[in-house]
């Protein structure tokens, strides 16, 4: 047997399988089945971490997921995970684990000097101390807080593991696999329900795994668990999930589970996810979350070697570990007597049981006395001694009036505490279930819930084992709609404990300097909580935030009830008048990887590729993300940077012709007898007079009067429009169309169909565009006379069906060739080959932006920000004056939307033609106005224009159209303000001669 504190013949670990791992660089020997905590305790080692604020030495308080102290980092590199509870981390050969919050070492820590400064670090310390002087914040306070804050360090390398997400449905979800959960799952499963049972531990059984006293149907509890688990596994309608925590209870019985699949394996299969999130929609939920033993609040209660009584029992029976040689038990509950008896039976010395109750009695107390254990009634623990390990404690008598007399010091290396048991209400409360205070038990219990949920067992205050089993069966049957369930007889058990204690233990003297911890993980003391109340905080939610009690990663599992009791005592109000803080998910911490699941890397977002993506890649294009689309930004030739490539592409379009994949344009077909009427109501423009074979620029406003989207609309037939939208606006416009059609105008007979993916768009733009295209379109006459600007023709191109728009977003003669996406590349190739002789040049989104800016064309979302009217962006001409109604009409008549000082779209030229403004720059009236000053406008688009051989910009300026020729200044972050002149936004070919060529 390895480990001086390992007890032969005890525990469920596999002593034939030794496991060696490293903790803080030292080799530790344990066995398969150990946790890091149990293996270290087996070596007599309680010190496992340092606390958050005071860097106090700390050891494990619990043996499970409620552990506040023994937080460790596990793994290396990208697999390093901080803040894991050593009490839950299962060891495997070669595991590397480290303690946290210590420098340079766990035994000697510089930060522990904070303890000496504890009187200077009271509740609300952060709020008070760092308020002044203001200038200290950035340089001194914030870096200091950042260094001190948090627990373990976050890993910096990418996480090499993968994580899964799984949706599941079931009739009955049972959260918790202790006695109540097992009974409920079996009852529901035998009734035929589809059942999912999850338990956060490696094995089901809960408290039964450490109960060596009770007998069920004559069987020891451990054997009964094995039998029930086997029965559950035989049922095909029951799914058993271990190492699986129910951490979030959402509306409508959607419960999230976090299943840890590989962390306990030395050599995990590479294809297995590390963790899996289950999103379970359950018809009914049974909560069998159990109860957590409460810590006691007394001076020095955080010393290593002081732990919950139930934890010592777990280490003894699960892991065969004696947590010390000589224990003191401090309790207000009978259950700790059973622990003392178990410890004594295992050969450990129990120096005394200090019972806070004046006259403890009953079979357990008598059994302890009979065993020769000294039982001290009406006794408190005044303080614990020791530093890196508890060495003794002063046990002092409590008089009938509550005063504490002089005590005696008892030496020990282990203090076991029990304040009674707090039902775990987290999941019930997350689902917004009500809580009610139970006077008899002195704890909160689950009340009414709007969900289809029921609690069973100790999480609803049912503690005696036979009652728990019956309660579980009843819950399982009720959830499954079953009639009869399994019946077991508990042939031996302890009566449930009575009593319990919450708050600060009675002590002698005021204890101004005493550090009695309420929240171990956040280093919140009883004094902090009292101080908060004295300073005027009354709501428990405010006390929580001010002191940070209950706000650590353990969510106050062990601390909330004590904090509540302290507030209650100071205020002199009953606990139920004060209430509990809201329980929030997750119940236990969940790794970010599990939340990300599959959504990382290439799978973070869908990638939309336009039809000519492969061609663009073959041409060496540089790409940019536009929403979900990946679009070719420019096509650099050897030696070109972006500016050079874009300038060349722009010049080619203006001189010859350019070809551009515009397929990402949103496209919607509006069809039906009332299509024209629908268009009239939807767009600000008038459509009735638009002839078949023609297209028109369309502008969409919201009913607020603000521009929402724009695009060219072609009339294919009297009852059919081919609508285009911006790339980013496609889904929104279709949704808005559906909204008005379905909810405002159900009288209209119109069908809306997204055709974005069906029609690819090849933009062919430039003075030679017609010459390139004419021979390709299978006899269609596209001459200037036959097909003027804003004409639309249907035809074929090399036999491929085509909708040909003569439109331009460049200001040049241009076409947008719409062909089915499946044949787009073939058509593109034909155009490309035909254009070769002319010098046809591919261009990307960057040149497209420059070319449109040279023409002063609006981009919705760049010039507009959701508060611009058509008039603001120079599109009043598009707004029908005669239509009785359209979306936005009424709002556009509001005075505020016609105020003369509204931001208006203008062109902007810098004095220095080489200087390109930053988009987003503010424009102010004077170069040297004192700060703060208010802006007259801002720059929305800014480029270097190859056509003008100078910089150009578009801006939105208050009353801008009336300020042409005047100057403003653009303050710069890294130089003097830039003087600019306001001009017409159409910089190039203002007459539009080229467009109509």
Partner 1 sequence: MLLIDCPYCGPRAEIEFAYGGEAHIARPAADVSEVEWSAFLYLRDNTKGVLAERWRHSHGCGRFFNALRDTRTDQFHAFYEIGTPRPDMGGAV
User: Given the rule CB under 8 A, which residues bind partner 1?
Assistant: 167, 250-254, 279, 281, 432, 450, 703-704, 735, 738-739, 742-744, 746, 884-885, 889-891, 894-895
In the complex, minimum distance from the CB of residue 721 to partner 1, in angstroms, rounded to a whole number: 19
Sign of the alpha-carbon dihedral angle for 5, 6, 12, 16: positive
d(CA 727, CA 627): 8
Q: Of 536 and 746, which has the nearer Cβ to partner 1? A: 746
Q: What are phi and psi of 711, to 5 degrees?
A: 160, 165
In the complex, minimum distance from the CB of residue 185 to partner 1, in angstroms, rounded to a whole number: 23
d(CA 383, CA 402): 17
- Do residues 350 and 373 lie in contact, with contact meaning Cβ atoms separated by under 8 Å? yes
Closest CA relative to residue 72, chosen from 108, 92, 47: 47
Q: Of 73 and 666, which has the nearer Cβ to partner 1? A: 666
DSSP 520: T
- Do residues 942 and 987 lie in contact, with contact meaning Cβ atoms separated by under 8 Å? no
In 377-469, where do the E strands start and end? 379-386, 390-397, 408-411, 414-418, 421-423, 435-438, 443-446, 453-455
In the complex, minimum distance from the CB of residue 742 to partner 1, in angstroms, rounded to a whole number: 5
Q: Of 254 and 834, which has the nearer Cβ to partner 1? A: 254
Q: Of 29 and 281, which has the nearer Cβ to partner 1? A: 281
Q: Of 196 and 761, which has the nearer Cβ to partner 1? A: 196
d(CA 650, CA 849): 10
Q: Of 154 and 450, which has the nearer Cβ to partner 1? A: 450
Q: Of 254 and 916, which has the nearer Cβ to partner 1? A: 254
Q: Of 605 and 918, which has the nearer Cβ to partner 1? A: 605
- Do residues 391 and 308 lie in contact, with contact meaning Cβ atoms separated by under 8 Å? no
- Do residues 614 and 632 lie in contact, with contact meaning Cβ atoms separated by under 8 Å? no
d(CA 761, CA 667): 10
Q: What are phi and psi of 747, to 5 degrees?
A: -75, -20
My answer on whether omega of the bond before 586 falls inside 30° of 0, hence cis, is yes
Q: Of 366 and 744, which has the nearer Cβ to partner 1? A: 744
Q: Of 252 and 492, which has the nearer Cβ to partner 1? A: 252
| Tally of CB atoms within 10 A around 269 | 9
d(CA 116, CA 98): 26
In the complex, minimum distance from the CB of residue 717 to partner 1, in angstroms, rounded to a whole number: 24
| Tally of CB atoms within 10 A around 99 | 23
Closest CA relative to residue 696, chosen from 539, 515, 829, 877: 877
Q: Which helix (H) or strand (E) holds 816?
A: strand 814-820
- Strand pairing of 414-418 and 306-308? parallel
Q: Of 385 and 452, which has the nearer Cβ to partner 1? A: 452
Q: Of 153 and 584, which has the nearer Cβ to partner 1? A: 584
Q: Of 144 and 450, which has the nearer Cβ to partner 1? A: 450
Token couple for 341:
């008896």
Helices (H), 191-282: 221-234
In the complex, minimum distance from the CB of residue 252 to partner 1, in angstroms, rounded to a whole number: 4
Q: Of 108 and 604, which has the nearer Cβ to partner 1? A: 604
Token couple for 739:
């909204």
Residues facing residue 980 across a β-bridge: 910, 968
In the complex, minimum distance from the CB of residue 890 to partner 1, in angstroms, rounded to a whole number: 5
DSSP 504: B
Q: Of 449 and 458, which has the nearer Cβ to partner 1? A: 449
In the complex, minimum distance from the CB of residue 752 to partner 1, in angstroms, rounded to a whole number: 9
| Tally of CB atoms within 10 A around 565 | 23
In the complex, minimum distance from the CB of residue 731 to partner 1, in angstroms, rounded to a whole number: 9
Helices (H), 123-220: 125-129, 136, 142-148, 179-190
Token couple for 737:
């169309």
| Tally of CB atoms within 10 A around 609 | 16
In the complex, minimum distance from the CB of residue 168 to partner 1, in angstroms, rounded to a whole number: 12
In the complex, minimum distance from the CB of residue 166 to partner 1, in angstroms, rounded to a whole number: 14
- What is each CA distance from 869 to 189, 666, 886, 956, in whole angstroms? 63, 22, 14, 12
Q: Of 879 and 978, which has the nearer Cβ to partner 1? A: 879
d(CA 949, CA 618): 31
d(CA 498, CA 501): 10
Q: Which residue has the tokens 């084992």?
A: 465
Q: What is the dihedral angle through the alpha carbons of 710, 714, 720, 726, rounded to the nearest 10 degrees?
A: -30
In the complex, minimum distance from the CB of residue 437 to partner 1, in angstroms, rounded to a whole number: 22
In the complex, minimum distance from the CB of residue 451 to partner 1, in angstroms, rounded to a whole number: 9
- Cβ neighbours of residue 863 closer than 8 Å, sequence gap 6 or more: 873, 905, 940, 941, 954, 956
In the complex, minimum distance from the CB of residue 878 to partner 1, in angstroms, rounded to a whole number: 18
d(CA 705, CA 693): 30
Closest CA relative to residue 842, chosen from 640, 637, 701, 983: 637
Q: Of 25 and 746, which has the nearer Cβ to partner 1? A: 746
In the complex, minimum distance from the CB of residue 744 to partner 1, in angstroms, rounded to a whole number: 5
In the complex, minimum distance from the CB of residue 870 to partner 1, in angstroms, rounded to a whole number: 16
Q: Which residue has the tokens 């010190």?
A: 47
Residues facing residue 795 across a β-bridge: 802
- What is each CA distance from 673 to 83, 214, 678, 719, 748, in whole angstroms? 65, 80, 10, 5, 8
In the complex, minimum distance from the CB of residue 873 to partner 1, in angstroms, rounded to a whole number: 20
Q: Of 108 and 167, which has the nearer Cβ to partner 1? A: 167
In the complex, minimum distance from the CB of residue 81 to partner 1, in angstroms, rounded to a whole number: 27
In the complex, minimum distance from the CB of residue 441 to partner 1, in angstroms, rounded to a whole number: 27
């Amino acid at each position: 047997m390895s480990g001086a504190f390992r007890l032969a013949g005890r525990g469920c670990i596999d002593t034939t399988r030794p496991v060696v791992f490293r903790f803080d660089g030292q080799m530790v020997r344990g066995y398969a089945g150990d946790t890091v905590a149990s293996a270290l305790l087996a070596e007599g080692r309680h010190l496992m971490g340092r606390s958050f604020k005071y860097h106090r030495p700390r050891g494990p308080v619990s043996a499970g997921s409620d552990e506040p102290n023994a937080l460790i980092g596990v793994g290396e590199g990208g697999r390093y995970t901080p803040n894991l509870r050593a009490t839950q981390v299962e060891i495997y050969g070669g595991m590397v684990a480290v303690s946290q919050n210590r420098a340079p070492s766990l035994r000697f820590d510089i930060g522990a000097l904070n303890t000496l400064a504890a009187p200077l670090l009271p509740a609300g310390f952060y709020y008070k101390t760092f308020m002044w002087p203001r200038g200290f914040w950035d340089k001194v306070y914030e870096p200091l807080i950042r260094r001190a804050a948090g627990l373990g360090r976050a890993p910096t390398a990418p996480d090499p593991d993968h994580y899964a997400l799984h949706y599941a449905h079931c009739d009955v979800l049972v959260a918790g696999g202790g006695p109540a959960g097992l009974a409920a799952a079996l009852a529901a499963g035998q009734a035929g329900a589809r059942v999912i049972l999850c338990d956060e531990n490696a094995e089901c059984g809960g408290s039964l795994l450490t109960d060596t006293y009770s007998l069920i149907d004559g069987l020891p509890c451990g054997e009964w668990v094995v039998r029930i688990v086997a029965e559950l596994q035989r049922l095909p309608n029951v799914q058993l999930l271990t190492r699986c925590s129910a951490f979030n209870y959402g509306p409508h019985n959607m419960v999230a589970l976090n299943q840890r699949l590989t962390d306990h394996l030395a050599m995990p299969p590479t294809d297995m996810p590390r963790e899996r999130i289950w999103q379970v929609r359950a018809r009914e939920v049974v909560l069998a979350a159990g109860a957590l033993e409460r810590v006691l609040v007394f001076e020095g209660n955080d010393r290593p070697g002081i732990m919950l009584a139930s934890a010592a029992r777990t280490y003894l029976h699960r892991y065969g570990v004696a947590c010390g040689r000589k224990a003191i038990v401090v309790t207000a509950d009978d259950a700790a007597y059973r622990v003392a008896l178990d410890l004594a039976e295992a050969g450990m010395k129990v120096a005394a049981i200090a019972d806070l109750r004046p006259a403890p009695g009953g079979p357990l107390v008598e059994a302890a006395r009979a065993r020769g254990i000294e039982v001290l009634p009406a006794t408190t623990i005044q303080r614990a001694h020791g530093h890196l390990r508890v060495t003794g404690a002063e046990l002092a008598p409590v008089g009938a009036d509550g005063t504490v007399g002089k005590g005696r010091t008892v030496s020990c290396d282990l203090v076991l505490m029990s304040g009674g048991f707090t039902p775990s209400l987290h999941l019930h409360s997350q689902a917004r279930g009500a809580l009610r205070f139970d006077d008899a038990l002195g704890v909160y219990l689950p009340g009414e819930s709007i969900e289809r949920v029921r609690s069973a067992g100790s999480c609803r205050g049912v503690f005696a084992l036979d009652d728990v089993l019956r309660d579980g069966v009843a819950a399982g049957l009720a959830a499954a709609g079953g009639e009869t369930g399994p019946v077991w007889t508990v042939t031996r058990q302890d009566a449930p404990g009575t009593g319990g204690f919450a708050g600060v233990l009675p002590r002698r003297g005021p204890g101004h300097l005493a550090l009695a911890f309420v929240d171990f993980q956040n280093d919140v003391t009883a004094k902090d909580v009292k101080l908060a109340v004295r300073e005027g905080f009354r709501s428990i939610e405010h006390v929580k935030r001010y002191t940070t009690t209950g706000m650590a990663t353990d969510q106050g599992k062990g601390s909330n009830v004590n904090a509540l009791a302290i507030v209650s005592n100071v205020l002199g109000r009953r606990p139920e008048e004060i209430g509990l803080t809201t329980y929030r998910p997750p119940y236990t911490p969940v790794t970010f990887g599990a939340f990300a699941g599959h959504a990382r890397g290439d799978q973070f977002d869908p990638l939309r590729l336009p039809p000519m993506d492969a061609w663009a890649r073959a041409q060496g294009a540089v790409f940019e993300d536009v929403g979900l689309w990946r679009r070719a930004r420019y096509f650099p030739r050897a030696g070109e940077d972006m500016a050079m490539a874009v300038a060349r592409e722009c010049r080619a379009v203006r001189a010859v012709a350019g070809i551009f994949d515009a397929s990402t344009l949103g496209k919607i077909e509006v069809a039906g007898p009332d299509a024209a009427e629908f268009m009239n109501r939807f767009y600000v423009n008038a459509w009735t007079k638009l002839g078949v074979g023609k297209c028109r620029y369309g502008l969409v406003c919201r009913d607020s009067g603000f521009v929402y989207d724009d695009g060219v609309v072609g009339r294919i037939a009297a009852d059919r429009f081919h609508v285009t939208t911006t790339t980013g606006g496609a889904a929104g416009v279709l949704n808005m169309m559906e909204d008005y059609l379905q909810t405002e105008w159900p009288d209209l007979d119109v069908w809306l169909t997204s055709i974005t993916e069906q029609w690819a768009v090849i933009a062919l733009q430039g003075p030679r565009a017609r010459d390139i295209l004419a021979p390709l379109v299978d006899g269609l006459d596209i001459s200037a006379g036959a097909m003027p600007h804003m004409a639309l023709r249907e035809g074929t191109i090399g036999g491929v069906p085509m909708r040909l728009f003569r439109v331009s977003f460049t200001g040049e003669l241009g076409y947008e060739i719409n062909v089915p996406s499946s044949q787009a590349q073939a058509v593109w190739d034909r155009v490309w080959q035909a254009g070769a002789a002319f010098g046809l040049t591919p261009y990307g989104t960057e040149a497209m932006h420059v070319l449109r800016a040279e023409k002063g064309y609006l981009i919705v979302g760049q010039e507009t920000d959701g508060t611009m009217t058509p008039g603001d962006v120079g599109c009043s001409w598009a707004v029908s004056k005669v239509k009785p109604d359209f979306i936005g009409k009424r709002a556009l008549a509001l005075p505020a939307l016609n105020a003369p000082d509204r931001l208006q779209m203008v062109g902007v030229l810098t004095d220095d033609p080489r200087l390109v403004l930053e988009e987003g720059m503010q424009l102010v009236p004077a170069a040297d106005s004192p700060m703060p000053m208010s802006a007259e406008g801002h720059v929305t688009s800014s480029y270097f224009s190859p056509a003008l051989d100078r910089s150009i910009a578009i801006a939105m300026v208050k009353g801008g159209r009336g300020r042409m020729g005047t100057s403003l200044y653009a303050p710069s972050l890294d130089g003097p303000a830039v003087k600019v002149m306001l001009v017409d936004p159409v910089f190039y070919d203002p007459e539009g001669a080229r467009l109509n060529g």
